[in-house]
Chains A and B, each alone.
Chain A
Amino acid sequence: MIRSILIAVLAIVVVSTAYWGYQEHQEKNSILIKAESSYQRAFHDLTYNLDQLHDEIGATLAMNSKKQLSPSLADVWRVTSMAQVNLGQLPLALMPFNKTEEYLYKVGNFSYRNAIRDLDKEPLTNEEYKVLKELYQQSGEIQKEMRQIQSMVLKDNLRWMDVELALASEVEPLDNAIIDGFKIVNEKVEGFNEVEWGADLPQLQANDELLSKRFTGKEISKEEAKEIALAFCELENAKVEVEETGDGLAYKSYSVMINDPKHKANIFMDISKKGGHPIWLLQDRQIGETKISLNEAAEKAKAFLEKNNHKQMQLVDSKQYNAVGVFNFVYLKDNVRVYPDSIVIEVSLQDKQIIGYEATAYLANHRKRTIPAPKLTMEEAKKSLNPALEVKEHHLALIKNELEDEVLTHEFFGVINNDTYRIFINAQTGHEEQVEKLDNAEPVYKSR
């Protein structure tokens, strides 16, 4: 009797476990299929985009009328951004496919700039036309390779989930048809690098390369770096560790760690080897209650800059985040705000301590400049503004425009319908260089 009950119970357990296992299995499969489908969609969309890219560049080349060139270049730009998005959805991270992504970016950038430019006044130069031809040929090669991968994927039913697994396990050499195909594409693109993009194209130059060019002067020693760091932090007799940074940076610098005994926290900073400029500083500590006002902190930040020989700096933005005040200063030359030369300072609102300093932008951009006199007066520049804008404030400012050139502008702050805008009007040509909506406070959304 007991035995049969036991058997019955066990049978029920077995059956229900089997059923549960089956359910789980089904669920897992359906999730896998969903993930696989979204990879497949991204992949096939990508190949479709690359097809389109080739065709669009071809169409641009075939066009005679300059008026129609702009829309078709804009189309090239649109297709490249879509291809970039689709690429970002494939599980390729940590796989060397970056050259291809960079290539797409450059094509997009090239087409965008030429699409927005007034081609009636400034038609494509011969060189630019040549670039376009090269791009056409190169995009054709990429298209061919991608189509080959695609046909393989379709024919052999290759799955992206296997790519993921292969990449995750990392048994070298990676033996996966899709990965191999993508590697071939990337190698092809690496060979393209010789394209002359034209003089006005911004090089993909990282900040650290710019910095390495700007640093001059004699190299300092570790001891000197230590002294500079202590003086900068207004500390004495603190424990200091100095290390050299790795080869990855284009400039040489020292990383300094100071033990701040008073706050029981570490201060980290970087000092350039050449010239001994403090590049950034961060203090690692918890900030408690707000005890001083943002205004006092701003004064402190200003005094700190002056003490460190940055006399000509103007505060352009201040914000309070809990108990930290963040201040943005720019260089002021003959009453012109030089926006590229900016320094950010963070001050603790508990005890006025400088807890953050960031001068990379300043160090990378600051140099002796001759700023031309503006051709347009403020009143003349105002005419280029939207008449609905109620102008509240005006400054002269030097900014970097979309082409990464420094241009002198009239900076207007104004209000349309309760929204504040900042508008930069080129002081020589009257072009609107930049329009920004300033909206810095956000309501706190609470869960219902």
Chain B
Amino acid sequence: MNKAVRTISLLMFICIFGCSIVFQPTNVEAFSNQIIQQGATGDDVVELQARLQYIGFYHGTIDGVYGWGTYWAVRKFQEQFGLTIDGLVGSEMKAILKKNTNYDYKWVHKQFYEGRKFTYYGATPKELQTGPKGSRSPQKEPAKRSQQGKAPTPWKQPTTGKTPTQGGTPTPGPVKTPPTTPVPAEEPVKGEKKQEKADIHEAINVPAGFSQNDIRMMAQAVYGEARGEPYIGQVAVAAVILNRVKSPSFPNTPSGVIFEPRAFTAVADGQIWLDPDETARRAVLDAINGQDPSGNALYYFNPSTATSGWIWSRPQVRKIGKHIFCK
């Protein structure tokens, strides 16, 4: 049985591949020509997820982040179509995807930006798959999006040739539709069952062990403490926070460290509540990724304003900008 499926899919693959060679030029555009790899974000990932969902390989949220769920879906797809199973979406896989699925760019993006809860299974009319406007999480104007200081770029169109002509109508004229869709018979049913759960929801990558809110809080602390400092000075302040989290002499969470009474002046004078800029956020991400220009420092001080004599007795590592970092 399994073998049969495999030979059928192999046959289909050959057939499709043959078609794709002959008719390729007429039906390109949607994907840009990048190889999509795990961890990527952006429009290509939205399209990949939508297309995989269309033929029932992917049941997760269409969120524009190539995470583990997408990775397994891609591998399953590669296995069924006899491609190298490596989780990399190259031109070959994209061509097969395009042959077998419709991608209504306009429609998907409309759902995406209007914040609708929706799915994209091929066998169900689209009208049944979308919820009311704003049904996933209410969000009004796109201006708000870029204002929040994250992901302004990935949602930009990476290619120029992307035309919305694909929208709506099932594969137009010159394309020879492959004899069958490769979807096993039960897949659409499964899809329909799941459609209540699956939805689209913009997402972003976060480093393991930290939430977006942790990063935001640390960025606020860094911004409040070190905003006129050189970039590595900001990374170093973020690293000090993380070194304290790891140190036995300090609280064990970022919030515990930041809000420890008398630990940071930015907390005492309220500057921590300022809106952090993108640089502070990047500094925090760098520190989380292991960068530590402070050299394992636990303290830092500004020599011109420090009042404590004790702090001068700590072994100093280096001076960055106005701050001296010490242990």
A interface residues (Cβ-Cβ under 8 A, vs B): 39, 84-85, 88-96, 98, 101-102, 104-106, 164, 167-170, 172, 204, 206-208, 245-249, 255, 266, 268, 270, 280, 282, 284-286, 288-290, 292-296, 298, 317-326, 344, 346, 356, 358, 360-361, 392, 415, 418, 420, 436, 438-448
**Chain A residues within an 8 Å CB radius of B115:** 446
State the 5 A-B residue pairs at the shortest beta-carbon distance, nearest first. Answer: A105-B248, A293-B34, A284-B231, A91-B261, A248-B317
Chain A residue at smallest Cβ distance from B251? A88
Q: Does B69 contact A (CB under 8 A)?
A: yes
Q: Does B7 contact A (CB under 8 A)?
A: no
- The reply to whether B208 and A440 contact each other, CB–CB distance below 8 Å, is yes
Q: Does B59 contact A (CB under 8 A)?
A: yes
CB of A368 to closest CB in B, whole Å: 24
**Chain B residues within an 8 Å CB radius of A169:** 307
The one of A204, A284, A288 that contacts B232, using a Cβ cutoff of 8 Å: A284
Q: How large is the interface on B (under 10, 10 to 19, 20 to 34, 35 or more residues)?
A: 35 or more
CA distance A47 to B9 in the complex (A): 70
Q: Does B152 contact A (CB under 8 A)?
A: yes
- The reply to whether A248 and B315 contact each other, CB–CB distance below 8 Å, is yes
The one of B150, B235, B252, B309 that contacts A172, using a Cβ cutoff of 8 Å: B309
Within 8 A of A (CB), among B22-47: 34-42
Q: Does B104 contact A (CB under 8 A)?
A: no
CB of B221 to closest CB in A, whole Å: 14
CA distance A392 to B85 in the complex (A): 12
**Chain B residues within an 8 Å CB radius of A326:** 285, 289
Q: Does B153 contact A (CB under 8 A)?
A: yes
Q: Does B3 contact A (CB under 8 A)?
A: no
**Chain B residues within an 8 Å CB radius of A444:** 148, 150-151, 201-204, 212
**Chain B residues within an 8 Å CB radius of A248:** 295, 297, 314-318, 325-327
13 pairs, CB–CB < 8 Å, chain A vs chain B: A90-B261, A93-B260, A248-B318, A282-B286, A288-B153, A322-B154, A346-B289, A361-B290, A415-B72, A418-B69, A441-B205, A442-B204, A446-B137
- Secondary structure call for the B interface: loop
CA distance A344 to B327 in the complex (A): 24
Q: Does B107 contact A (CB under 8 A)?
A: no
CA distance A396 to B298 in the complex (A): 36
- The reply to whether A93 and B290 contact each other, CB–CB distance below 8 Å, is no
Chain A residue at smallest Cβ distance from B67? A441
A170-B37 in contact given A164-B261, A420-B72, A444-B150 (Cβ < 8 Å): no
- The reply to whether A89 and B37 contact each other, CB–CB distance below 8 Å, is no
Chain B residue at smallest Cβ distance from A251? B295
CB of A330 to closest CB in B, whole Å: 13
Among A92, A280, A360, find the residue whose CB has the most chain B CB atoms closer than 10 A: A280
- The reply to whether A208 and B295 contact each other, CB–CB distance below 8 Å, is yes
The one of A296, A319, A323 that contacts B207, using a Cβ cutoff of 8 Å: A319
- The reply to whether A206 and B232 contact each other, CB–CB distance below 8 Å, is no
Within 8 A of A (CB), among B121-164: 137-139, 144, 148, 150-154, 156, 158
**Chain B residues within an 8 Å CB radius of A325:** 39
- The reply to whether A418 and B154 contact each other, CB–CB distance below 8 Å, is no
Q: Does B250 contact A (CB under 8 A)?
A: yes
**Chain A residues within an 8 Å CB radius of B235:** 282
- The reply to whether B41 and A280 contact each other, CB–CB distance below 8 Å, is no
A280-B315 in contact given A293-B34, A295-B88 (Cβ < 8 Å): no
**Chain A residues within an 8 Å CB radius of B21:** none
- The reply to whether B326 and A102 contact each other, CB–CB distance below 8 Å, is no
CA distance A374 to B252 in the complex (A): 36
- The reply to whether A322 and B37 contact each other, CB–CB distance below 8 Å, is no
CB of A38 to closest CB in B, whole Å: 9
Contact with A along B258-296 (1 / 0, CB 8 A): 001111000000000000000100100110011111011
CA distance A361 to B291 in the complex (A): 11
B interface residues (Cβ-Cβ under 8 A, vs A): 34-42, 59-61, 63, 65, 67-69, 72, 75, 88, 115, 137-139, 144, 148, 150-154, 156, 158, 201-208, 211-212, 230-232, 235, 248-252, 256, 260-263, 279, 282, 285-286, 289-293, 295-297, 307-311, 314-319, 325-327
**Chain B residues within an 8 Å CB radius of A207:** 296
CA distance A75 to B206 in the complex (A): 35
Among B60, B282, B295, B307, find the residue whose CB has the most chain A CB atoms closer than 10 A: B295
- The reply to whether B144 and A446 contact each other, CB–CB distance below 8 Å, is yes
- The reply to whether A98 and B249 contact each other, CB–CB distance below 8 Å, is yes
A94-B296 in contact given A318-B38, A392-B75 (Cβ < 8 Å): no
- The reply to whether B317 and A294 contact each other, CB–CB distance below 8 Å, is no
Among A101, A168, A282, A325, find the residue whose CB has the most chain B CB atoms closer than 10 A: A282
CB of A40 to closest CB in B, whole Å: 13
CA distance A294 to B250 in the complex (A): 37
- The reply to whether B203 and A443 contact each other, CB–CB distance below 8 Å, is yes
**Chain A residues within an 8 Å CB radius of B138:** 446, 448
- The reply to whether A443 and B63 contact each other, CB–CB distance below 8 Å, is yes
CA distance A88 to B59 in the complex (A): 44
The one of B39, B232, B308 that contacts A318, using a Cβ cutoff of 8 Å: B39
Chain B residue at smallest Cβ distance from A160? B261
- The reply to whether A170 and B308 contact each other, CB–CB distance below 8 Å, is yes
- The reply to whether B318 and A245 contact each other, CB–CB distance below 8 Å, is yes
**Chain A residues within an 8 Å CB radius of B59:** 418
- The reply to whether A102 and B248 contact each other, CB–CB distance below 8 Å, is yes
CA distance A96 to B313 in the complex (A): 11
- The reply to whether A280 and B292 contact each other, CB–CB distance below 8 Å, is yes
- The reply to whether A268 and B262 contact each other, CB–CB distance below 8 Å, is no
- The reply to whether A96 and B310 contact each other, CB–CB distance below 8 Å, is yes
CA distance A37 to B153 in the complex (A): 48
Chain A residue at smallest Cβ distance from B137? A446
**Chain B residues within an 8 Å CB radius of A296:** 34-35
Chain A residue at smallest Cβ distance from B139? A446
- The reply to whether B42 and A290 contact each other, CB–CB distance below 8 Å, is yes
The one of B67, B139, B256, B285 that contacts A321, using a Cβ cutoff of 8 Å: B285
- The reply to whether A106 and B154 contact each other, CB–CB distance below 8 Å, is no
- The reply to whether B316 and A358 contact each other, CB–CB distance below 8 Å, is no
**Chain B residues within an 8 Å CB radius of A168:** 262
- The reply to whether A206 and B251 contact each other, CB–CB distance below 8 Å, is no
**Chain A residues within an 8 Å CB radius of B279:** 286
The one of B35, B144, B248, B295 that contacts A106, using a Cβ cutoff of 8 Å: B248
- The reply to whether B293 and A88 contact each other, CB–CB distance below 8 Å, is no
Chain B residue at smallest Cβ distance from A318? B39
CA distance A295 to B201 in the complex (A): 24
A246-B286 in contact given A170-B307, A442-B211, A442-B212 (Cβ < 8 Å): no
CA distance A282 to B308 in the complex (A): 31
- The reply to whether B256 and A88 contact each other, CB–CB distance below 8 Å, is yes
- The reply to whether A442 and B206 contact each other, CB–CB distance below 8 Å, is yes
CA distance A324 to B153 in the complex (A): 11
- The reply to whether B289 and A358 contact each other, CB–CB distance below 8 Å, is yes
- The reply to whether B262 and A91 contact each other, CB–CB distance below 8 Å, is yes
Chain A residue at smallest Cβ distance from B317? A248
A318-B37 in contact given A207-B296, A290-B154, A420-B68 (Cβ < 8 Å): yes
